[in-house]
Amino acid sequence: MMGRNPFTLIERHPCCGGEVHFLSHQSQELGLPARVSIFLPAKALAGDRVPAIHVLAGLTCTQETFLIKSNAIRHAADHGLALVAPDTSPRGADVAGEDDAYDLGTGAGYYVDATTDPWAAHYRMGSYVRRELPALVEEHFPIMAGRRGIMGHSMGGMGALAVALGDAGAWQTVSAFAPISSPSQVDWGHKVTDAYFGGHEAEWAQYDPCLLLEAGMTHPGTLLVDQGLDDEFLSRLQPERLEQAAKAAGQSLTLRRHEGYDHSYWFVQSFIQDHLKHHAEGLL
Ligand SMILES: N[C@@H](CCC(=O)N[C@@H](CS)C(=O)NCC(=O)O)C(=O)O
């Protein structure tokens, strides 16, 4: 039975034959109001349920960034796919210091569940993007239940790979742009370990794509990953580690390296069409 619709519509705009909705809702996992953006293609507006691709943005971004900057909507419209874009962290958790750095706290939820106070009460983006948000949008929008793709950029690329490898049955397709391949091995992840995990590095076993692969968690589809070779964060993204871990696990991976491209959404929008095609082939 359908529950009460928890979403409040903030803005709605016709776009590419469909509609973009900017929404808020009270999240049970986050214990706070959360913002989410959704693109519904023409077919969904006509009443048919369509598969959705969940899109996870990177550090400093919001629920608006991926939809505005990646050009994903144009191609989602062409394929008749919905897009669901969550925020990158809880907002207003009121944790001391959460706004002090770009890579921890606000805008930096890393799609993990914090286990230690004062972060643990609200920093639960892991459970939010894995379970709460997909279930809610599939209940209240013309989005097909249980037929999902996930993609992301940078911190969101890490999140997309981790979500799909962690529960391959729930996510049929996955792709990433410049993902943080092994967060437990780099300074971004060390900050997360010290703060969100209270020093317990073992928590990364659920969220680090390379650790998941090394533990035998694979996905039956192909992981499509694009990486710019002039990416200013390349040494912390470590695509070579992902390549090694995938090879050892027998995971199908298409890792494309692009001469001259950096970390920005100019890079993302250059290859987004291929990602939408990859998801469409697996979802439709
Ligand atoms: N230059 C940023 C670093 C963070 C960054 O580059 N974030 C990437 C994702 S990891 C991004 O997409 N930023 C937003 C944008 O380009 O619009 C800062 O220091 O604040």
Candidates 21, 25, 263, 278; catalytic one: 263
At residue 2 the predicted structure's pLDDT band, cuts being 50, 70 and 90, is: low
pLDDT over 70 percentage in the chain: 99
pLDDT in tens, 210-229: 999 999 999 999 999 999 99
Which one of 3.30.750.210, 3.40.50.1820, 3.40.50.360, 3.60.150.10 gives the CATH number of domain 8-278? 3.40.50.1820
Is the beta carbon of 60 within 6 A of some atom in ligand 1? yes
pLDDT for res 3: 78
pTM: 0.98
Ligand 1 centroid – CA 264 distance (Å): 7
Q: Which residues contact 109 (CB under 8 A, 6 or more apart)?
A: 87, 88, 89, 90, 123, 125
β 8-15/18-27 pair status: antiparallel
Q: Is 102 in the pocket of ligand 1 (CB under 6 A)?
A: yes
56 touches ligand 1 (CB under 6 Å): no
Is the model's pLDDT at 120 over the cut of 70?
Answer: yes
Distance 234 CA to ligand 1 centre (A): 14
pLDDT in tens, 97-114: 999 999 999 999 999 999
Q: Is the CB of 37 under 6 A from ligand 1?
A: no
Both tokens assigned to 3: 């529950």
Q: Kindly give, in sequence order, each residue whose CB lies less than 8 Å from that of residue 176, ignoring residues fewer than 6 positions away.
A: 151, 152, 153, 156, 157, 158, 160, 161, 223, 224, 225, 226
Band of residue 203 on the pLDDT scale cut at 50, 70, 90: very high
Catalytic, out of 231, 275, 278, 279: 231
116 CB within 6 A, ligand 1: no
* Ligand 1 atom nearest to 154, measured from its CA: 10
Query: Is 53 a residue whose pLDDT tops 70?
Result: yes
Please indicate whether residue 274 is annotated as part of the active site: no
Catalytic, 226? Answer no
124-166 pLDDT, tens digit each: 999 999 999 999 999 999 999 999 999 999 999 999 999 999 9
Burial (CB count <10 Å: 0-12, 13-18, 19+), residue 51: buried
Query: Ligand 1, residues 55, 60, 69: which to mutate, most atoms within 8 A of Cβ?
Result: 60
Phi, then psi, of 203 in degrees rounded to 5: -60, -25
Please, how many CA atoms are within 13 Å of residue 284, restricted to the half-sphere of its CB?
15
pLDDT recorded at residue 83: 99
Is 231 assigned a catalytic role? yes
pLDDT band at 284; cut points 50, 70, 90: very high
Q: What percent of the chain has pLDDT over 90?
A: 99
pLDDT at 89 exceeding the cut of 60:
yes
Average pLDDT over residues 25-52: 98
Please, what is the average pLDDT of the chain? 98
What does the alpha-carbon distance between residue 189 and residue 149 come to, in Å, rounded to a whole number? 25
List the catalytic residue out of 154, 181, 182, 184: 154
Mean pLDDT, residues 16-36 taken together: 98
**What is the average per-residue pLDDT within 48-69?**
98
Rounded average pLDDT over 178-202: 98
Where in the chain are the domains?
Answer: 8-278
